[in-house]
């Protein structure tokens, strides 16, 4: 038997005892009962949310010395837990007691009502005197007769009231709390856009929800689109260093969705009465136990959860030639994805003489335009290469892809279509790329932008199903993989009731699926029906939005018109004040005149134009402003009847709409420099009808609405 000397020593020892509770955890009448293990745990934890570390030694002793009998009993058992840490019961009713006194201060008032106004020593560490001795915070017996009831006691003065209000705040002692909580009602794995949308939806449905986000990145949730767009067009380096950018309309904005002050510290999350969101950075969830509802982190820490969302996104796909290359080559290759990659490429581009971008899709083309713009004011040379015939050749019709390639070249980059890397080696401080054409290129750095691989490592260890065809976690219509486990964003393979099973890797899908998952985690049970859109900007003057299945291998029909000054990405941002067009398009109401698609079989509405889906690409271009939409339809008929060929790449495609067909049904739509029309496109795809006269359908988009 030994006596613990000193309140500080006792407090530290008690904290150690509390942190080693790992053997068994029970729930007794709504309060938690911890049974101490005789073996010291290798790691500390605080268990689920209802398993709390008790108040500090000082706070309990203060209550005990104030004369409350229940507190004295708590104090005694607290001391026993300290002295017999190898086997004993930590009092479990102290938390309940503290909760009651914070809601109804009668018990606390009884112990503090007679505290002199000038006394401030009640909150100081107590001395090492026996608990039976009178402390300085006790009231003189003459001022408070023992027979007086709390109701008859004098009301506390201002100073006593201040101490009274401060007492509940002395619990818990965050200094001895684990950095990561042991329980989260809502656990979100991944710190990207899908998680951001999910915790917003959760908090909207459950205002006091406590949400814990665990992310591998050392960043708070942020938006990715500006990393390949606006951030590169800023003329203020100091602004870029702070990860802030100017939208096309000149308005300043941060890539982070919320400032740091929005979030709470993870160790404090469980004690936020009004809920909150906490982010654990730099940690990876290695395994889920769906039956026990436990997530295991890469450091061995376990987090119990009630509901969990997997929003792990994807990792940049590499190509074999660089995977097999030497370490010197690998050190000079960036697989572009997040903030860390942007910072690295930003620094490299300011010092390198040559940068090669491998990939001709959305990301590769955006980065090439951005780097090309920077090369105008420096000696930097930018080279882009890809195996397709033109930029975004997997998405756009060939003629529009060729036009896009010309646009990228105009930004100052050298573009090499139908080209790929066969070998890569390191020599004299440079990466030497051997191309399929026989040419060798010497470069300082290589950027690989060839798509994503969904992060599904959790599946094998957690018993979750992976889609062998599309990749990602296979989920039902409500985005649920298993009971109380949802998946959203790039990592989800979901069933589209109109287009079949799909996996989408775009910002808007992350927003929509994350929001839906968050709503369903709070009991909404809504199916996924939304057709997400995506967009790409080749600088402030050219951009497009797309929805559905946009695959250049499908038959297409296109209608174009002359663009105006309002038909640019810069103009739409100036009008809406929002650079994330997934936001403006999703929130946009179909305020445009709502028209029904006329039935071509009706003689009164038939135009006689019947585009054939058997052609690889059928399109029409208005070289001069048409007085109305009927004239556009007539021009479509003339081009298809007389020429039956696609427009030449030299033409300036101001603005237009491209329909992608499968079995004569519109399954995808691209709006070229045509904005705030996405609700109409979404409605057309949702209806899933066959349209013999697509010129009639094009009227819905009011291509000539802004022409003089």
Q: What confidence tens digit (pLDDT) does each residue in 456-503 have?
A: 999 999 999 999 999 999 999 899 999 999 999 999 999 877 778 889
β-sheet bridge partners, residue 264: 278
Spans of the chain below 50 pLDDT: 1-63, 82-153, 168-170, 581-584, 586-587, 589-595, 599-649
Q: What is the pLDDT of residue 117?
A: 41
Topology alike, domains 183-221+257-313+455-522 and 533-591+651-701: no
Strand ranges in 273-313 using DSSP code E only, listed in sequence order: 276-281, 285-289, 294-297, 302-310
Q: Report the C-alpha gap between 317 and 574 in whole angstroms.
A: 35
| CATH tag, 317-451 | 3.50.50.60
What are the structural domain ranges in the chain? 183-221+257-313+455-522, 317-451, 533-591+651-701
Q: Measure the CA dihedral 573/580/257/679, to 10°.
A: 120
Q: What is the pLDDT of residue 77?
A: 57
User: At the topology level of CATH, where does 183-221+257-313+455-522 sit?
Assistant: FAD/NAD(P)-binding domain (3.50.50)
CATH class of 533-591+651-701: alpha beta
Q: Measure the CA dihedral 228/233/239/245, to 10°.
A: -60
Q: Which of 50, 22, 581 is nearest to 270 (CA)?
A: 50
Per-position DSSP letters for 455-518, written without gaps between them: --HHHHHHT--B-TTT-SEE--TTSEEETTEEE-GGGEEEEETTTEEE---SHHHHHHHHHHHH
Q: Measure the CA dihedral 458/462/463/466, to 10°.
A: -10
Q: Whole-model pTM?
A: 0.69
Whether residue 172 is preceded by a cis peptide bond, meaning omega within 30 degrees of 0, is yes
CB 658 within 8 A of CB 670: yes
CB 505 within 8 A of CB 546: no
Q: What is the pLDDT of residue 464?
A: 97
Q: What is the pLDDT of residue 191?
A: 96
Q: What is the pLDDT of residue 578?
A: 57
């Amino acid at each position: 038997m030994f006596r613990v000397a000193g309140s500080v020593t006792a407090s530290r020892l008690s904290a150690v005892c509390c942190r080693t509770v790992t053997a068994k955890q029970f729930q007794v009448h709504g309060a938690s009962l911890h049974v101490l293990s005789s073996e010291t745990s290798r790691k500390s934890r605080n268990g689920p949310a209802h398993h709390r570390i008790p108040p500090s030694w000082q706070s309990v002793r203060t209550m005990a010395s104030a004369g409350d009998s229940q507190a004295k009993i708590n104090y005694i058992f607290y001391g026993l837990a300290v002295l017999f840490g190898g086997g004993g019961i930590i009092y479990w009713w102290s938390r309940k007691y503290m909760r009651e006194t914070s809601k109804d201060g009668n018990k606390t008032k009884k112990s503090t009502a007679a505290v002199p106004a000038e006394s401030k020593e009640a909150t100081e560490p107590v001395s090492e005197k026996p608990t039976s001795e009178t402390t300085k915070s006790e009231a003189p017996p003459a001022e408070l007769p023992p027979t007086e009831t709390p109701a008859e006691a004098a009301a506390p003065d201002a100073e006593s009231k201040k101490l009274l209000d401060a007492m509940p705040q002395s619990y818990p002692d965050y200094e001895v709390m684990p950095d990561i909580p042991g329980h989260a009602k809502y656990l979100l794995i991944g710190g990207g856009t899908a998680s951001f949308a999910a915790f917003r939806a959760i908090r909207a449905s459950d205002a006091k929800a406590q949400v814990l986000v665990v992310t591998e990145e050392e960043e708070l949730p942020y938006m990715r689109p500006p990393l390949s767009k606006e951030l590169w067009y800023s003329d203020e380096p100091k602004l870029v260093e702070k990860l802030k950018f100017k939208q096309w309309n000149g308005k300043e904005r941060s890539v982070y969705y919320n400032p740091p002050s929005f979030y709470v510290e993870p160790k404090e999350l469980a004690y936020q009465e009004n809920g909150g969101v906490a982010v654990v950075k730099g940690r990876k969830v290695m395994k889920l136990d769906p039956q026990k509802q436990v997530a295991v982190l890469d450091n061995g820490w376990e987090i119990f959860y009630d509901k969990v969302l997997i929003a792990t996104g994807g990792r940049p796909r590499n190509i074999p030639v660089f995977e097999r290359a030497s370490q010197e080559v690998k050190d000079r290759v960036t697989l572009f994805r997040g903030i860390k990659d942007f910072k690295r490429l930003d620094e490299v581009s300011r010092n390198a003489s040559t940068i090669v971008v491998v990939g001709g899709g959305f990301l590769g083309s955006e980065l090439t335009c951005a780097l090309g713009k920077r090369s105008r004011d420096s000696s930097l040379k930018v080279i882009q290469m890809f195996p397709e015939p033109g930029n975004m050749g997997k998405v756009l019709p060939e003629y529009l892809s060729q036009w896009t390639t010309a646009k990228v070249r105009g930004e100052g980059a050298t573009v090499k279509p139908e080209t790929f890397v066969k070998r890569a080696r390191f020599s004299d401080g440079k990466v030497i790329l051997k191309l399929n054409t026989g040419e060798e290129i010497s470069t300082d750095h290589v950027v690989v932008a060839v798509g994503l691989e969904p992060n599904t490592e959790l599946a094998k260890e957690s018993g979750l199903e992976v889609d062998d065809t599309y990749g990602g976690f296979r989920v039902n219509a409500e985005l649920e993989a298993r009971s109380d486990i949802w998946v959203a964003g790039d990592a989800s393979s979901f069933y589209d009731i109109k287009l079949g099973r799909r996996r989408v890797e775009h910002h808007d899908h992350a927003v929509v699926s994350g929001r839906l998952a968050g709503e369903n985690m709070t009991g909404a049970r809504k199916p996924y029906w939304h057709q997400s859109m995506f967009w790409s900007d080749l600088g402030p003057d050219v951009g497009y939005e797309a929805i559905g299945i946009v695959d250049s291998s499908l038959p297409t029909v296109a209608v174009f018109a002359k663009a105006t000054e309002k038909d640019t990405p810069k103009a739409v941002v100036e009008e809406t004040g929002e650079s994330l067009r997934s936001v403006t398009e999703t929130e946009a109401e179909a305020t445009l005149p709502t028209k029904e698609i006329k039935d071509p079989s009706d003689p009164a509405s038939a135009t006689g134009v019947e585009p054939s889906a058997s052609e690889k690409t059928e399109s029409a271009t208005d070289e001069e402003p048409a007085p109305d939409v009927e004239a556009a339809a007539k021009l479509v008929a003339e081009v298809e009847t007389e020429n039956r060929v696609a427009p030449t790449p030299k033409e300036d495609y101001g603005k237009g709409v491209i329909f992608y067909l499968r079995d004569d049904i519109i399954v995808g739509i691209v709006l070229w420099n045509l904005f705030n029309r996405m609700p109409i496109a979404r409605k057309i795809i949702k209806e899933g009808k066959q349209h013999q006269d697509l010129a009639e359908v094009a009227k819905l988009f009011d291509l000539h609405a802004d022409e003089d």
